[in-house]
Structure formats: structure tokens, C-alpha cells
Amino acid sequence: MATNKKNPTLITTVGTMAATAAVAEYQDHYQKTLYDSDYFWDQTARQELRWYSLFHRVQDCDLHAGRIAWFLGGKLNVTDNCIDRHLPERANQVAILWEGDTPDQIRKITYLELHQEVSRLANVLKSYEIKKGDRVAIYMPMVPEAAFAMLACARIGAVHSVVFAGFSAESLRDRICDAKCTAVITADEAIRGGKTIPLKRITDEAIMACPLVKTIFIVKRTGNKIPFYPERNVWLDEEMKKQMPYCPAEVMDSEDPLFLLYTSGSTGKPKGVTHTTAGYLLYTKLTHRLVFDHQEGDIFGCMADIGWITGHSYIIYGPLANGATTFMFEGIPIHPHPGRYWEMVERHKMTQIYTSPTAIRTIARESIDYVKKYDRSTLRVLGTVGEPINEEAWKWYYEVVGEKRCDIVDTWWQTETGGIMITPLPKIHSKMLKPGWASYPFFGIRPVVLNEKGEELNSKSGSEKVEGLLAIKNCWPGMARTIYGDHQRFYNSYLAAYPGYYLTGDGCRLDEEGRYRITGRVDDVINVSGHRLGTAEVENALSTHPACAESAVVGYPHEIKGQATLAYVVLKEGYESNGDLLGELRNEARHHIGAFATIDKILIAKALPKTRSGKIMRRVLRKIASAEYHDLGDLSTLADPSVVEQLIHQHKIL
Ligand code: WTA
């Protein structure tokens, strides 16, 4: 459409509108970003990114065909945009502000130092023959070296795959093998909440089954003694000292992969969600700046772990692309005391804080004095992400932490979306905030609510509540391109069910004013404390126990964690339920997946409710687990209805 072309100020205005625009102006801009999306993204990409050579085509996307490509033919490097570009003005500005597990450990890394450290690490990787396109696993504590490692990969065009340090050896192994990683960057140990995690030992166990791994680079975190095998183990700090503090940035194509990040889906096998260079960088940069109202001098406090997408997009890539000072936190919110976040806010004069509903609920349980004691007057924006936030937690965040003065941004997005998709915008929507509602789509994003038949529902279709499946009707630069090594699975998981739409896997509601409320997953994924967990993964873990004949795992509401896990287990003949066995079963998920996956409740069942064709009726199991006994829906296809009564009886006394 021609209208936008008459309005060359669109992009510049969007860039600064957070400070000035009224709601109507936002609406107007939002509509423009949709109806001439190519123009919007073309202008934004030219303005926001530094290109070695400019793209020749804005996008080539077709959701029906599963084809997604942005800024075709463009050449750039992510670290050139996140580091080099800022050096003339920001060499001595702190890029990464780090606080360790205990408050006495603080490190400040300037942009110049970041440039040098990343270069050194990149040179180390090169000296071990790691090159563009190779996959490198990163299994690290939250220390600045983890950021250096990610950026060093990006510097030379290697593809990083960060694995959260809470994952077990088995999970790490599966991810290393699936991505065919040739190197792992890890640490001797991690420290979190006063506990140590033997990362190197776990890595050794994991790589026994990964013959492609040639080198393990080790960062010294605790300095405790660890197994060291000189043939393929390398101390990273020693190697970095030998290297030059300059490494040329590899020239990357817009669509070269930047990283893989494994996430859970409805089957047992995690998916290597793949993000590419230009689109991802642009989208995280723009969302970071506008959603958090980033301004010069801000100290941006994202409390996530780099093992999850939030850490990638809003500790590393988005903030650094904006030349921000980004905060990195090794610890947990209640260690050594429940006021830790606010103590850090005061100490560093943080301007934004970005955390999860689980963390908010955990802190809100404690005395309010832990918050009030610290000066929070520098805070302007309070963000939440990862799971639906309940009204009570939202209000506590707004009233107690933000003293009704700060904007709350309840940001909905996913590993697959790369960046924030639905959120209020600070200043613009301040007067329209609604607790528990992620609210409005970001620029260039067109969400829709679908019913099971794939028909679009909209808020003007009557006074009935609009509720259904959340889908996105268009492409955006930050979206994942594929699942590593399995594009068909990508297509089947997100694009096949309703052709022409990206299906999110979340349910949602839409109100009359166009706000979205995310109600939670509608597939076999559970969201425990904001961590995605596939029920099939937990069932696979249980099936390795000799006593387990069959199991079905479901989520149920939990006061702090949002959701918790209940496993219905049928025992093999000859096994009897007792405390030891229950403990062992519960530990299977912890052992095979990681500590965060511990099963909360186990119910030993005589049988599982199945249809006559033998399919487990999970819907019924979910209802029982949530104690919604009177709302079980249609049970007419059930092979043996007495199974359900028995389970209800057992659940009531669990
Ligand atoms: C959930 C995290 C409600 C949702 C960035 C989604 C949310 C999954 C919100 C993605 C929110 C994330 N309100 N639910 N503000 N943000 N979710 O891939 O179920 O770790 O599908 O990405 O978290 O989790 P992931």
C-alpha cells in the first residue's frame, strides 16, 4: 500500500513513541505496521542494524509452505551490532553488570572489555578448529563467561546451543548428540542458592555417548578439584590469556543460523528450535527498546537464566544490540534472603526488572518489609514472563514493588517466537493495564483466536466470551525458522494444524477492547515455574523404572509454581506401592531430566482411563488432578467407567 510510503517518519516515530504517544497513535502505528508490513520491517532493519551489505528483499515467507526468510541477501554479524558498533561511544560504559550467588561478588565488564574477552574466546575456539556452522554446546553457570561464550560463537559464525545448567547428564547428552556438537563449553562447578552443581562431571558423563565432541572448554568457577583429561579438556582462562584481544567478525548471511535452543514439545524428544541472524537480532533489539522503554543510562535487570530463551533475548542480544547495561544474576531470589532482588535494585539503581510469576509469588509469600527496606525509586518498568500471572501476584507486583508508579509489562512469547509478542507498552498503555492480561500485540504481529475448527473468533462477534486457541496470522522477523534437522516436525508442530497460521499451543481469551489473556497450554506441555516440560518426557523417564508398567503425567494448578506435576502410575505385577518406591519413581524425572522436573505427586493406579480403542483419556486425568471431579465431560467412549471412580476416590485421599 502506498499510504505508508508517504509517511517516512513512521519508523523514527515508533522508535521514540514510547515517550510520547497516546493510545490512538499507537493504534494507528500498529495498523500501519500490519498493512504495510514489508515497508515497516524494511525501514526498521535499515535503521536498527549495521549491515556489511544490505538485503535485497525484505522477506520471503509462506506459512502454508513452511518457508520463512527475512532480509534476504543481507550480510552482517551479530557481535558487530552488539559490541563493535558501540565502541566509539561506549567503550567505557558497563555492558554486563554481574552479581554472583552472594552479594559480595560483583563484576563490571565494559563494552571495550567485552570486545576483548569475546575476541579472545573466539580466537580460542578457532585455534581448536571450530568454524562457521559448527555447533557448540554451552552448559554453564550464570557467569559473564557464559555471555562471552555465546557471543564468541556468534563472532565466528558457530551455532551455540545453550543447555540450562539444571539439566541432567542424560538431557545434556541428548541435546549434544541431536545437534552434533563438536565442542562443549562448561565450568568446573556452578553455584546457585549456596549449592554447587558438578557441571564438569555431568558433562563427562553426558559426552560418553557423544563421539563427535572433540574438546571440552572449562571455566573455573569454584576452583574445586574436578576430573581433567588433558587429551580433550582445556582450561578456558589459560587458553584465553594466550590469544589476541581482537578477532575479526565473520560475515554472516541474514539467514545463517545464530543458535539452537532445545525446548519441550508434546512428544518425548526435545526440539532444537533454530533462530537465524538478522531477523532475530532485529526483533529482540526492537522489543527490548520499546517494551522496556529503554533509555540512555538505564540498568536493565532481567533475572532469567541464559539457559532459557528469555536469557538469550533479554540478557544478551536485545540489550547489547541497544548498547544497554545489562544485568546478569547468578543466584536465586531468596538467597541469602528474600529481599535479594530489591537489594540489587537499590545497589545498582536498576531501572527495569524482568522476572517470572513464580519468582514474584515466592517473594510475595515473605514479609513485605523485605521489599520496603530497599530503595526502588529508580524502577520504571516491571516485567513478567514465562507463565500466566494470577491477579493477586500482579497486584502485589504493581502495588508493593512498583508503588503503583511503574508500568507492568506482562509479556507473552515463546522460545519459538524469539521475542515478545503480546504485551502492554510502557506509558502508552499505563492507564489500560488489566491484571493477568498480557494485553496488546507488538508492532507487526497479528494474533487471532481460533476455535477447534480453525475459524477466527473476534471480539465484535457478540457479547459471548471469546476464548480459543491463540494463533498468529503472519510472519515476523524473530520467529524460529525450523527445528534443527527436522523441518517436517517444525511444520507439523506449528503450521500444519491450521494452514496459514502459526499455532502457539496456548489457549487465550480476548476482551472487547482487544486485550489478550493467556490461559495456559492446550497441548501436552506443562509449565512448571515457567519451565516447559513435556508430559511425554516425564513418562519416558518413569518408564525406565522396573516397577512402572504404564504412566500418564498431567499438570495441576499450584499456588507458587503455577503448575505442578501429578503422575498416575500403573505398577507391574509383583510390585507394591510403598514409601521407598514412591520416592524412587519421583526421582526418575529428576534423574533423567533435571532437578526442576521433580514429580510433585504420584498416584498408584490400578488402571488408566482409556477409550475402547486404547487411548488414554488425559482430559479426564487432568480434571481429576485439578480436583474438578464434577466436570469430567463426555465419558461415553470410556472402556471401563469404574476406573474413573476409583481414581477420584484415590485422589481425594492423596
Ligand atoms: C508461557 C518463554 C502466560 C506460554 C518466553 C508459552 C506465558 C510458554 C507468558 C513459552 C505470559 C510465556 N503469560 N503464559 N506472559 N509468557 N508463557 O518457550 O504457555 O520457555 O507457550 O518461552 O510459556 O515458554 P518458553
pLDDT digits (tens, 9 = 90+) for 619-648: 999 999 999 999 898 888 899 989 999 999
Instruction: Compute, in degrees rounded to 10, the torsion defined by CA atoms 300, 303, 308, 309.
Output: -30
For ligand 1, is residue 413 a contact (CB within 6 Å)?
yes
Question: Which is nearest to 606 in space by CA: 552, 567, 647, 649?
Answer: 647
pLDDT at 19: 46
Query: C-alpha distances in angstroms, 81 versus 134, 189, 265, 323, 394?
Result: 21, 32, 32, 9, 35
Give the list of residues 6+ apart from residue 158 with CB closer than 8 angstroms, or none: 125, 130, 131, 132, 133, 134, 135, 136, 152
For ligand 1, is residue 43 a contact (CB within 6 Å)?
no
Residue 420 has pLDDT above 90, yes or no: yes
CA 447 to ligand 1 centroid distance, Å: 15
Residue 469 has pLDDT above 70, yes or no: yes
Residue ending a domain, among 203, 234, 250, is 250
Q: Do residues 306 and 146 make contact, with C-beta atoms less than 8 angstroms apart?
A: yes
Question: Which is nearest to 75 in space by CA: 53, 59, 57?
Answer: 53
> How far apart, in Å, do the first and last CA atoms of the chain sit?
62
Mean pLDDT, the chain, whole residue set: 94
CA 498 to ligand 1 centroid distance, Å: 21
Cα angle value 357/363/369 (rounded, 5°)? 140
For ligand 1, is residue 284 a contact (CB within 6 Å)?
no
Q: How far apart are CA 581 and CA 482, in angstroms?
A: 41
pLDDT at 631: 86
Tally of structural domains, the chain = 2
In a domain, 140, yes or no: yes
The more confident residue out of 287 and 462 is: 287
Q: Is 137 helix (H, G, I), strand (E, B) or coil?
A: strand
In a domain, 271, yes or no: no
Q: How far apart are CA 517 and CA 20, in angstroms?
A: 26
Q: What is the mean pLDDT of residues 424-453?
A: 96
For ligand 1, is residue 39 a contact (CB within 6 Å)?
no
For ligand 1, is residue 412 a contact (CB within 6 Å)?
yes
**CATH number of the domain bearing residue 188:** 3.40.50.12780
CA 263 to ligand 1 centroid distance, Å: 12
E strands along 321-465, which residues? 325-329, 352-355, 381-384, 407-410, 447-450, 456-457
Q: How far apart are CA 497 and CA 594, in angstroms?
A: 31
Rg of the chain in Å (alpha carbons): 24
For ligand 1, is residue 506 a contact (CB within 6 Å)?
yes
Enclosing domain of residue 219: 80-250
For ligand 1, is residue 415 a contact (CB within 6 Å)?
yes
Residue 30 has pLDDT above 60, yes or no: yes
Q: Do residues 119 and 245 make contact, with C-beta atoms less than 8 angstroms apart?
A: yes
In a domain, 431, yes or no: no
Q: What is the mean pLDDT of residues 208-225?
A: 97
Query: C-alpha distances in angstroms, 442 versus 287, 503, 605, 630?
Result: 8, 17, 46, 40
In a domain, 27, yes or no: no
- Closest protein CA for atom 25 of ligand 1: 414
Sign of the C-alpha dihedral computed for residues 494, 561, 302 and 377 taken in this order: positive
Percent of the chain with pLDDT over 70: 96
CA 518 to ligand 1 centroid distance, Å: 9
Q: What is the mean pLDDT of residues 574-602?
A: 94
Residue ending a domain, among 250, 278, 310, is 250
Q: What global pTM score does this model have?
A: 0.95
Q: How far apart are CA 618 and CA 633, in angstroms?
A: 12
For ligand 1, is residue 414 a contact (CB within 6 Å)?
yes
Residue 411 has pLDDT above 80, yes or no: yes
**CATH number of the domain bearing residue 599:** 3.30.300.30
Q: How confident is the model at residue 17 (pLDDT cuts 50, 70, 90)?
A: low
- Closest protein CA for atom 12 of ligand 1: 386
For ligand 1, is residue 333 a contact (CB within 6 Å)?
no
- Closest protein CA for atom 4 of ligand 1: 387
Residue 323 has pLDDT above 70, yes or no: yes
Query: C-alpha distances in angstroms, 192 versus 90, 298, 340, 577, 595?
Result: 32, 27, 13, 34, 13
Residue 10 has pLDDT above 60, yes or no: no
Q: Do residues 421 and 389 make contact, with C-beta atoms less than 8 angstroms apart?
A: no
Q: What is the mean pLDDT of residues 239-250?
A: 98
CA 54 to ligand 1 centroid distance, Å: 34
Q: How far apart are CA 120 and CA 113, in angstroms?
A: 10
pLDDT at 267: 81
Residue 261: all three cell numbers together: 535452543
Residues 340-364 pLDDT 10s: 999 999 999 999 999 999 999 999 9
pLDDT at 16: 55
Mutation pick for ligand 1 pocket among 308, 389, 412 (CB with most ligand atoms within 8 Å): 412
pLDDT at 487: 98
Mutation pick for ligand 1 pocket among 387, 397, 509, 529 (CB with most ligand atoms within 8 Å): 387
Q: How far apart are CA 218 and CA 399, in angstroms?
A: 44
pLDDT at 25: 87
pLDDT at 9: 44
Residue ending a domain, among 195, 228, 250, is 250
For ligand 1, is residue 423 a contact (CB within 6 Å)?
no
Q: What is the mean pLDDT of residues 221-241?
A: 97
Q: How far apart are CA 70 and CA 41, in angstroms?
A: 9
pLDDT at 535: 94
For ligand 1, is residue 518 a contact (CB within 6 Å)?
yes
CA 115 to ligand 1 centroid distance, Å: 32
Q: Do residues 17 and 428 make contact, with C-beta atoms less than 8 angstroms apart?
A: yes
Question: Taking the CA of residue 609 as centre, how many other CA atoms within 13 Å lie in the half-sphere pointing to its CB?
Answer: 23
Residue 77 has what DSSP assignment? -
Q: Which atom of ligand 1 is nearest to the CA of 410?
A: 15
Q: How far apart are CA 447 and CA 410, in angstroms?
A: 16
Percent of the chain with pLDDT over 90: 91
Q: How far apart are CA 252 and CA 244, in angstroms?
A: 22
Q: Which amino acid is at 438?
A: A
pLDDT at 266: 81
CA 420 to ligand 1 centroid distance, Å: 10
Q: Which atom of ligand 1 is nearest to the CA of 519?
A: 3
Q: Which amino acid is at 355?
A: T
Cα-flanking dihedrals φ and ψ of residue 518, to 5°?
A: -90, 125
Residues 252-292 pLDDT 10s: 999 999 999 999 988 888 999 999 999 999 999 999 999 99
CA 412 to ligand 1 centroid distance, Å: 6
For ligand 1, is residue 350 a contact (CB within 6 Å)?
no
Mutation pick for ligand 1 pocket among 273, 385, 472, 523 (CB with most ligand atoms within 8 Å): 385
Give the list of residues 6+ apart from residue 248 with CB closer than 8 angstroms, or none: none
Residue 466 has pLDDT above 70, yes or no: yes
pLDDT at 8: 39
Q: For residue 356, how far is the Cα from the chain centroid?
A: 11
In a domain, 496, yes or no: no
In a domain, 106, yes or no: yes
In a domain, 488, yes or no: no
Q: What is the mean pLDDT of residues 468-487?
A: 98
Q: How far apart are CA 510 and CA 491, in angstroms?
A: 27
Residues 497-510 pLDDT 10s: 999 999 999 999 99
Q: How far apart are CA 216 and CA 231, in angstroms?
A: 10
Q: What is the mean pLDDT of residues 111-137?
A: 98
For ligand 1, is residue 308 a contact (CB within 6 Å)?
yes
- Closest protein CA for atom 10 of ligand 1: 414
Q: How far apart are CA 71 and CA 48, in angstroms?
A: 13
In a domain, 517, yes or no: no
For ligand 1, is residue 421 a contact (CB within 6 Å)?
no
Q: Is 474 helix (H, G, I), strand (E, B) or coil?
A: coil
Q: Do you find a cis peptide bond into 424, omega within 30 degrees of 0?
A: no
Q: What is the mean pLDDT of residues 7-34?
A: 69
Residue 255: all three cell numbers together: 539467514
Give the list of residues 6+ apart from residue 325 with CB closer than 8 angstroms, or none: 93, 94, 95, 96, 97, 298, 299, 300, 319
Residue 241 has pLDDT above 70, yes or no: yes
Point out the least confidently predicted range of 17-31, 170-184, 231-245, 601-615. 17-31
